[in-house]
Structure 1
Amino acid sequence: MNFEITEGVVNGAQKVVFYGPEGIGKTKFASKFPDPAFIDTEGSTKKYNVRRLPKPTSWQMLIDEVKSVINNRPCKTLVIDTADWAERLCTEAVCSRHGKSGVEEFRYGTGYTYVAEEWGRFLNLLQDVVDVANINVVLTAHAIIRKFEQPNEMGAYDRYELKLGKKTTAQTAPITKEWADMVLFANYKTFSVAVDDKGKKHKAQGGQRVMYTTHHPCWDAKNRDDLPEELPLDYSAIAHLFNNQTNVTPTVAVPPVTNTTPQQQPVVEEIKVEKELQQGGIQETVLTENANVVQQAVESKLPKALKDLMNQALVTEKEIRRAVSMKGYYPEDTPVENYDPNFINGVLIGAWPQILEFINTNVREF
């Protein structure tokens, strides 16, 4: 078997991790990337005039939104804001899938391994955004200060790290940094200024916002473009790295998304028909349903995470009840809101792709 050998620089989409302390301007910085669309996991884009997908209320919804970006290509940059809040959804999904109330309930730390494996699959999906759709991916994240002590060294010191969970940081943070083409750390740069004649007393001044591009004992950072070690916190400092990206032509025209709450449309139209009865000349008002109007998709009392998935797939509560009944979990006349919460979270939400496939195959009539 022969393989073609290629050479030269390949200009394409890039994977960027941008992290720093709260309030440093991560969202604003990410909004400067080419034609961005946000998946706002924590609601931090409300004050910015940006395009955004609906806020994901479950891990599966987040995955579905990323897949929709791959298929529709509505932007040139996909921003996940923030990665640490996305990891919370990941952890909740893993716990629900295994019937645990928290990741600490898993024995011997296997829960953290499950989370890392699930997070790795998510990074593979984001890799498809880059490779298949040629769309940049930017993961913003918060920074956390941890005490660090190197082997065979005396003393310890503080360093900034990606805030990806607690114990999970030992597994999810490294693969996230490895996955990225560029890891940028933003922080406030302060200066120590002497306040006495002898220079023994100092105070901090400044607070200039900067970003670091290379590794340092006190933070993680990297780049593959020979950037200076320190740059002002301004997108223009790295804009030239994205100017050569091949333009992406959307396969489907997608208008800007500004409203994260789906508009509830009337689902059943009632038409009053005046019918003259022959017996006694009595007039009766009869309510009939328009045959062309679909059944109601979601009941208001269902968990929002489940409602969002049902709305996205146009699945009705009746179809849910039918599928659950065919699987032998609950009688068909049992309202979904009366299901055990662990069943809703672990099966209906946690295994939504399988539930949807079963409904499409065995319940719906096309």
Structure 2
Amino acid sequence: MEVISGKIEKAKKVVLYGPEGIGKSSLAAQFPKPIFIDTEGSTTELNVDRLPKPTSWAMLQQQVDWVKQQVGRFQTLVIDTIDWAEMQCAESVCAQHGKKGVEDFGYGNGYVYVKEELGRFLNKLSDVVDVGINVVLTAHSQIVKFEQPDEMGAYDRYQLKLGKKTSSQTAPLVKEWADMVLFINYKTYSVAVDDKGKKHKAQGGVRTIFATHHPAWDAKNRHGLPDEFPLDYANIAHIFANVPNHQTAPVQQSEPVVQQQQEPIQQTQPIVEPTQPVQQQPMQNAPTSTVELNPAIPQSLRDLMIQSNVSEEEIQVVVSRKGYYPMETPINNYDPSFIDGVLVGAWPQVFGMVQEFRKTLPFKNII
């Protein structure tokens, strides 16, 4: 067996969380060569590179797969925020099982499904880290009542805001996945009391990063950071200075999206299996489609079709071959639960069937 000694330099997995408006996104924007996946559309005032706001869980995963291929072009993937991404995850799980909400599963099964799906997503993010791209997850905080088994009484503490009930299962996953969990908040320097000694009012404060676990908040780091320090990227910049890139596969960075008109048959993606996600073609920062889509098609499906350059006719062919709807049925007439649960929820499999259909067409008719 090979023995590996010493410190291993690699990309980092970071969680930044705190109250809204504290500066989480602004701090993440200072990481090396960041690319944002803005799940809640809150980075419009930041001068950063970003991908279109994902309108579905499948679209978010496609974007992560694309970033993984951009070794050298970007050095940090920022998902802003992970708690909004978790909501898309829960919606996807419900749509795939034909449920209106997580509670409809019964016996807490819905929360288990969400936990498992989010766990697979974190594994996908770990793959991004393995090729040398840092991953930063921002999240909001929430104040919850907490009572330790060996203590008397309960007290308030800050935790990741990952769903009211799912947080008991998904928040630990995110914290365990991360190398560094940094809590950002205002540090209050004094509390003023009125002349009657009843009303208390905080005075003074500065935005502070807390890097060590405390009874009042979650935090951790493996880099010897002080317990607390001012909100300034310079205080953690040294951690990301020597992150190597480990490019595991050739990536086309200077060429545009593969032109299907020129090489329609040379598809490199494997036939999709239920447990094997399809590898999407590289997309531009603002994905474009060579086909015009009916504006009445639901936005979550339209965005996936645009990113993969899939026409309405191709979806109709695949759907009709499976016996769901006749070929002439417009997509916007499909049942919404079918669109969300099958076409969007199982998009990798749907796209794989579209690719198989394309291989059967004459060269001149391929879209």
TM-score normalised by the shorter chain: which range applies? 0.7 to 0.9
**2:134 aligned with 1:136:** yes
Shift of 1:253: 2.8
Change (3 A) 1:197 1:334: closer
Per-residue deviation, residues 239-258 of structure 1 (Å, max 9, x unmatched): 11111212577933369xxx
Shift of 1:297: 4.4
Shift of 1:209: 0.5
Residue 218 of structure 2: which of 220, 226, 249 is its match? 220
Q: Comparing 207-216 with 192-201, which one deviates more in the overlay?
A: 192-201
Q: What is the rounded CA distance, in whole Å, between the counterparts of 2:341 and 2:101 in structure 1? A: 13
Gaps of 5+ in 1: 268-295
Q: What is the rounded CA distance, in whole Å, between the counterparts of 1:137 and 1:184 in structure 2? A: 14
1:95-244 equivalences in 2 (<5 Å): 95-131=94-130, 133-194=131-192, 203-244=201-242
Per-residue deviation, residues 201-249 of structure 1 (Å, max 9, x unmatched): 7532112110100110110000001111001111111111111212577
Q: What is the rounded CA distance, in whole Å, between the counterparts of 1:193 and 1:302 in structure 2? A: 55
Instruction: State the number of aligned residues.
Output: 330
1:1-366 equivalences in 2 (<5 Å): 3-73=1-71, 74-131=73-130, 133-194=131-192, 203-246=201-244, 251-253=251-253, 262=287, 296-362=291-357, 364=359, 365=361
Q: What is the rounded CA distance, in whole Å, between the counterparts of 1:219 and 1:330 in structure 2? A: 52
Q: What is the rounded CA distance, in whole Å, between the counterparts of 1:122 and 1:137 in structure 2? A: 12
Shift of 1:101: 1.0
Change (3 A) 1:164 1:202: closer
Letter in 1 for 2:179: D
Q: What is the rounded CA distance, in whole Å, between the counterparts of 2:47 and 2:171 in structure 1? A: 30
SS at match of 1:5: coil
Percent identity between the two aligned chains: 61
CA contact (8 A) 1:94 1:115 kept: yes
Give me the TM-score of the superposition, normalised by structure 1.
Answer: 0.85
Change (3 A) 1:309 1:228: same
Q: What is the rounded CA distance, in whole Å, between the counterparts of 1:254 and 1:52 in structure 2? A: 18
Letter in 1 for 2:181: V
Letter in 1 for 2:352: E
Normalized per residue, the structure richer in strand is 1
Letter in 2 for 1:114: Y
Q: What is the rounded CA distance, in whole Å, between the counterparts of 1:193 and 1:160 in structure 2? A: 20
| Runs of 4+ deviating beyond 4 Å | 193-202, 247-250, 259-264
Change (3 A) 1:155 1:22: same
In terms of Rg, which structure is larger? 1
Give me the TM-score of the superposition, normalised by structure 2.
Answer: 0.85
SS at match of 1:72: coil
Q: What is the rounded CA distance, in whole Å, between the counterparts of 1:316 and 1:330 in structure 2? A: 17
Shift of 1:194: 4.9
Shift of 1:358: 1.3
Gaps of 5+ in 2: 256-283
Shift of 1:196: 7.2
Letter in 1 for 2:311: T
Q: What is the rounded CA distance, in whole Å, between the counterparts of 2:112 and 2:246 in structure 1? A: 36
SS at match of 1:220: coil
Letter in 2 for 1:329: Y
Change (3 A) 1:210 1:326: same
Shift of 1:298: 2.0
Q: What is the rounded CA distance, in whole Å, between the counterparts of 2:242 and 2:164 in structure 1? A: 38
